[in-house]
């Protein structure tokens, strides 16, 4: 220490005095964290840096240019860790140098807390009637807080991931981690697991099993095609169920509107109704231009080249010897895709030029696409 007396001003020169606010701190994984210090020095400190000693006894120097940190310099002596990780655990010391020498702080012990989310469910089995709604419970505890929720369904060794964007469900969000299936179908039967993700990793629940029963079915169907393997307790009109309450596709991209038809006796006639503003607009049967399906083995409707005029409300209808049944409506939205008359004329020229070399299936597909486009009200 050096005492200076200049006229009436008295000041003391000394090594920098580095004071810490706390000597033991705990941060949360993934969250920014600051180690606070104050540096007092006369003459002023011209260099400040930190050191960290890890659990293996290794010491590293943290300067103002170190990645993942801010501060730790003469302007801001305190050191901020931008994204706390478990590897940031250790013992930290702040150093300050002035023209007289080097001063340093007490050591700060830092811990980092956190783990993957703990995900739990209370109900291990659900039995739900065909067409009813069901909510699969899920509770999540997490530090740091979880940022994403999703579910997975296991059926016939096939895993399907379900998120809040999945059609026909609600929930599966941070605010509502439970999964609600709005209208249960046979294809919803299976084993479900809830997942939660935070900055540490992904946690999962035990599995819960969903069994679907109905007025015409008492056990789950293994797939949509082999329906005759089901046991039907009595004869009656078909049971017709859509796969989703709404579908969305991009102009020109094939889309399938799923339909399950179950009944005894089996259905002999399948067709679809298209509605606009609740009124019947058209009837679509097997073999309609630009479509696939719509038959006894595959009642679903596939639009091979959907255009703007295909948007609307669709209903699947099935008839067996006992009666007729209809599904709930499903809404189709077609996004984008204006096409100009010049494009149509170009397509027509291409078909004419290559008629002799195109194979019949490809030629028929090209003609079908042209016919669909020529009938589209969205041509400019």
User: pLDDT tens for residues 193-249?
Assistant: 999 999 999 999 999 999 988 644 433 333 333 443 343 444 577 888 898 888 989
Tell whether 184 and 202 lie within a shared domain.
yes
pLDDT band for 71, please (50, 70, 90 cuts).
very high
Residue, of 256 and 280, whose pLDDT is higher: 256
**Do 85 and 164 belong to one domain?**
no
Q: Is residue 227 part of a domain?
A: no
Domain edge (last residue) among 179, 213, 247: 213
Residues 92 and 141 grouped into a single domain: no
Position 268 scores a pLDDT of 85
What is the per-residue burial (b if ≥16 Cβ within 10 Å, else e) of 94-112? bbbbbeeeebebebbebeb
**Are residues 283 and 185 part of one domain?**
no
Per the DSSP assignment, residues forming a β-bridge with 240 are 261
Q: What is the mean pLDDT of residues 268-281?
A: 83
In a domain, 220, yes or no: no
- String of DSSP letters for 249-298: EETTS-EEE-EEEE-SSPPSEEEEEEEETTEEEEEE-TT-TTEEE-SSS-
Domain final residue pick, 113, 134, 159: 113
Kindly report the number of other CB atoms within 10 A of residue 162's CB atom: 20
What would the mean pLDDT of 16-23 be, rounded to a whole number? Answer: 94
Say if residue 30 is in the same domain as residue 83: yes
Any idea what the Cα angle at residue 227 is, between residues 223 and 230, rounded to 5°? 105
Identify whether the C-beta of residue 199 lies closer than 8 Å to the C-beta of residue 114. yes
Q: Are residues 104 and 6 in the same domain?
A: yes
At residue 218, the pLDDT reads: 36
Assess whether 6 and 109 both reside in one domain: yes
Residue 294 — φ and ψ, nearest 5°? 60, 50
Specify the pLDDT at position 225: 36
Neighbours of 219 (CB within 10 A): 13
**pTM of whole model > 0.85?**
no
Q: Which of 183, 213, 243 finishes a domain?
A: 213
Task: Report whether 117 contacts 197 (CB < 8 A).
Answer: yes
Containing structural domain, residue 345: 341-375
Q: Residue 188: pLDDT above 50?
A: yes
Which pLDDT tens digit goes with each residue over 319-348? 888 788 889 889 999 988 665 555 556 556
More confident site: 375 or 281? 281
Whether residues 6 and 104 fall in one domain: yes
Rounded Cα gap, residues 204 and 265, in angstroms: 43
Helix/strand/coil percent split, the chain, to 5: 10, 45, 45
Scanning the structure block, which residue is given the tokens 């509107």? Answer: 257
What is the C-alpha to C-alpha distance for residues 100 and 98, in angstroms, rounded to an integer? 5
Question: Which pLDDT score is estimated for 226?
Answer: 41
Q: Are residues 100 and 7 in the same domain?
A: yes
Q: pLDDT by residue (tens digit) across 154-184?
A: 998 999 999 998 888 999 999 999 999 988 8
Task: Establish if 266 belongs to a structural domain.
Answer: yes
What does the block give as tokens for 294?
A: 């719509």
CATH code for the domain in which residue 264 is found: 2.60.40.10
Q: Are residues 306 and 355 in the same domain?
A: no
Q: What is the pLDDT of residue 86?
A: 93
Write the CB contacts of 24 (distance below 8 Å, at least 6 apart in sequence).
108, 109, 111
| 205 and 106 co-located in one domain | no
| Local confidence band at 185 (pLDDT 50, 70, 90 cut-offs) | confident
Instruction: For residue 219, tell me if it sits in a domain.
Output: no
Q: Regarding beta strands 202-213 and 9-13, do their DSSP bridges make them parallel or antiparallel, or are they unpaired? A: unpaired
How far apart are the C-alpha atoms of 66 and 26, rounded to whole Å?
A: 21
pLDDT surpasses 70 at 380? no
Among residues 291, 380, 297, which one has the least CA distance to residue 344?
380
Residue 38 counted as domain residue: yes
Q: What is the pLDDT of residue 217?
A: 40
pLDDT for 339 equals 58
Look at residue 229 and tell me if it is in a domain: no
Task: Calculate the average pLDDT of the chain.
Answer: 83
pLDDT band at 2 (very low <50, low <70, confident <90, very high): low
Name the pLDDT band for 135 (thresholds 50, 70, 90). very high
Residue 321 domain flag: yes
- At 131 the pLDDT is 80
176: its two tokens: 């509502």
pLDDT (tens digit, 9 = 90+) per residue, 72-125? 999 999 999 999 999 999 999 999 999 999 999 999 999 999 999 999 999 999
Report how far apart the first and last C-alpha atoms of the chain are (Å, whole number).
88
Count of domains observed in the chain: 4
* Whether residue 39 sits in one domain with residue 52: yes
Is 297 among the domain residues? Answer: yes
CA distance 141 to 121: 12
Contacts of 217 (CB under 8 A, 6+ apart): 130, 186, 230, 231, 232, 239, 262
């Amino acid at each position: 220490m050096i005492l200076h007396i200049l006229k009436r001003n008295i000041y003391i020169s000394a090594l920098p005095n580095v004071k810490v606010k706390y000597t033991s701190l705990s941060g949360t994984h993934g969250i920014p964290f600051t180690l606070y210090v104050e540096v007092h020095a006369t003459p002023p400190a011209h260099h400040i840096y930190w050191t960290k000693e890890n659990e293996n006894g290794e010491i590293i120097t943290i300067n103002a240019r170190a990645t993942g940190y801010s501060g730790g310099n003469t302007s801001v002596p305190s050191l901020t860790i931008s994204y706390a990780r478990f590897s940031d655990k250790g013992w930290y010391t702040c150093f300050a140098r002035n023209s007289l020498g080097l001063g340093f702080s007490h050591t700060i012990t830092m811990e980092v807390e956190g783990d993957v989310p703990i995900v739990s469910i209370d109900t291990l089995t659900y039995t739900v009637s065909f067409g009813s709604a069901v909510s699969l419970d899920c509770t999540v505890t997490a530090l740091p807080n979880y940022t994403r929720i999703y579910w997975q369904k296991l059926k016939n060794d096939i895993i399907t991931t379900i998120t809040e964007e999945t059609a026909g469900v609600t929930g599966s969000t941070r605010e509502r981690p439970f999964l609600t299936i709005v209208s249960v179908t046979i294809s919803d039967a299976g084993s479900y697991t809830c997942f939660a993700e935070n900055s540490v990793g992904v946690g999962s629940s035990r599995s819960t099993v969903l069994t679907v029963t109905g007025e015409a079915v008492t056990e789950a169907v293994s797939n949509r095609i082999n329906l005759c393997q089901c046991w039907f307790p009595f004869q009656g009109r078909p049971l017709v169920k859509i796969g989703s309450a709404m579908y969305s596709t991009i102009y020109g991209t094939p889309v399938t509107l799923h339909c399950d038809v179950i009944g005894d006796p089996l259905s002999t006639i399948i067709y679809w109704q298209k509605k606009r503003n609740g009124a019947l607009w058209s009837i679509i049967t097997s073999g309609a231009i630009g479509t696939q399906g719509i038959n006894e083995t595959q009642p679903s409707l596939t639009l091979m080249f959907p255009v703007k005029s295909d948007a609307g409300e669709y209903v699947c209808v099935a008839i067996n010897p006992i009666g007729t049944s209809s599904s709930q409506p499903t809404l189709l939205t077609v996004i984008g895709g204006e096409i100009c008359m010049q494009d149509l004329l170009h397509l027509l020229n291409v078909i004419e030029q290559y008629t002799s070399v195109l194979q019949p299936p490809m030629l028929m597909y090209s003609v079908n696409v042209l016919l669909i486009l020529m009938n589209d009200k969205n041509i400019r």
